[in-house]
């Protein structure tokens, strides 16, 4: 069984490289409709892996049918954000792409675990779930793991403490309504609020929500952190790690929410989403979480389901 990545632009290639560096499978497919692009990216990545003694082989192809043997399919196809755009600005364009790609995935493979990366992440995860008709545990969106990496980076910046000691959590929408959870974050098990004051807490909270737009403004796209985030999720599945990862999942009563995909903590293993971890949110956290749900519901209402 292999890993297939659909979409070989900057993020797709970064995912492929990160999966290769971790040797998550002996063969990793990089698929795209653009002639030559996945083949060229695969060659370039293979050249790096070869001198590092790593034995994952990247296969670049325009043949979509290669997904038939894949345990994990990663859907990255779509248009990326431009400076000044929100993730929701991509809704109409990317919905048609995701629906088409998800249909093809389900035609070739009925048993894969699907990781969605295309923005706006939560509505696209919902669309992919409904289009493929896969079990809800086998469809997940990447957002929370990426948001967590940014949150943890700011915690490190403010505390000057080792990144290795930092444990962070972000839930809700992968977008402007994301919810960095200061109260559920810690340094070596010690609550984060023991290391920062209220003003610093507020600054970290706001910066985490805004930093993706800043990166896009400065360099045009976010590439490396998304690639690592998806590889982390993929590794949890391949190695059955039972990792607790924030991701976009379909809720049926968890957190008091139904029929929406939204960022929540989940146990990830060989069967995909094995359990959703419900958190006792306080009034402020619940209010912010609900804002994210409302945003995603509005987007879902316009999807071509």
User: Which residue numbers are catalytic?
Assistant: 174
What gap in Å lies between CA 88 and CA 110, rounded to an integer?
A: 29
Cα-based distances in Å from 188 to 32, 70, 171, 191, 268: 42, 37, 21, 8, 22
What gap in Å lies between CA 57 and CA 99, rounded to an integer?
A: 29
Q: Which two tokens stand for residue 166?
A: 């930092």
Identify which of 76, 103, 115 has the alpha carbon closest to the alpha carbon of residue 261: 115
How long is the chain?
305
* Residues 212, 180 contacting (CB under 8 angstroms): no
Instruction: Show the DSSP H helices in the chain as ranges.
Output: 10-21, 37-51, 91-108, 121-132, 143-159, 198-219, 224-238, 283-300
Q: How far is CA 94 from the centre of its chain?
A: 16
What gap in Å lies between CA 198 and CA 180, rounded to an integer?
A: 14
């Amino acid at each position: 069984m292999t890993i297939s990545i659909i979409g070989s632009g900057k993020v797709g290639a970064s995912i492929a490289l990160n999966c290769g560096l971790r040797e998550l499978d002996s063969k990793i497919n990089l698929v795209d409709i653009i002639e030559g692009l996945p083949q060229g990216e695969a060659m370039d990545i293979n050249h790096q892996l070869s001198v590092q003694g790593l034995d994952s082989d990247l296969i670049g192809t325009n043949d979509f049918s290669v997904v038939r043997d894949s345990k994990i399919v990663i859907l990255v196809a779509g248009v990326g954000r431009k400076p000044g755009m929100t993730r929701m600005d991509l809704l109409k364009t990317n919905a048609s792409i995701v629906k088409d790609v998800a249909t093809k995935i389900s035609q070739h493979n009925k048993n894969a675990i699907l990781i969605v990366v295309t923005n706006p992440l939560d509505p696209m995860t919902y669309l992919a779930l409904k289009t493929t008709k896969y079990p809800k545990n086998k469809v997940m969106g990447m957002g929370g793991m990426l948001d967590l990496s940014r949150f943890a980076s700011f915690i490190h910046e403010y505390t000057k403490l080792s990144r290795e000691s930092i444990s962070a959590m972000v839930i809700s929408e992968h977008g402007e309504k994301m919810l960095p959870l200061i109260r559920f974050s810690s340094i070596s098990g010690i609550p984060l609020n023991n290391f920062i004051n209220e003003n610093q807490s507020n600054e970290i909270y706001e910066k985490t929500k805004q930093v993706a737009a800043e990166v896009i403004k400065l360099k045009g796209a976010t590439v490396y952190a998304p690639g690592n985030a998806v590889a982390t999720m993929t590794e949890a599945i391949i190695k059955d790690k039972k990792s607790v990862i924030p991701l976009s999942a379909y809720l049926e009563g968890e957190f008091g929410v139904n029929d929406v995909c939204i960022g929540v903590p989940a146990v990830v293993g060989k069967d995909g989403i094995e359990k959703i971890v419900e958190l006792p949110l306080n009034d402020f956290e619940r209010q912010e979480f609900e804002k994210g749900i409302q945003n995603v519901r509005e987007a879902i209402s316009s999807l071509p389901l």
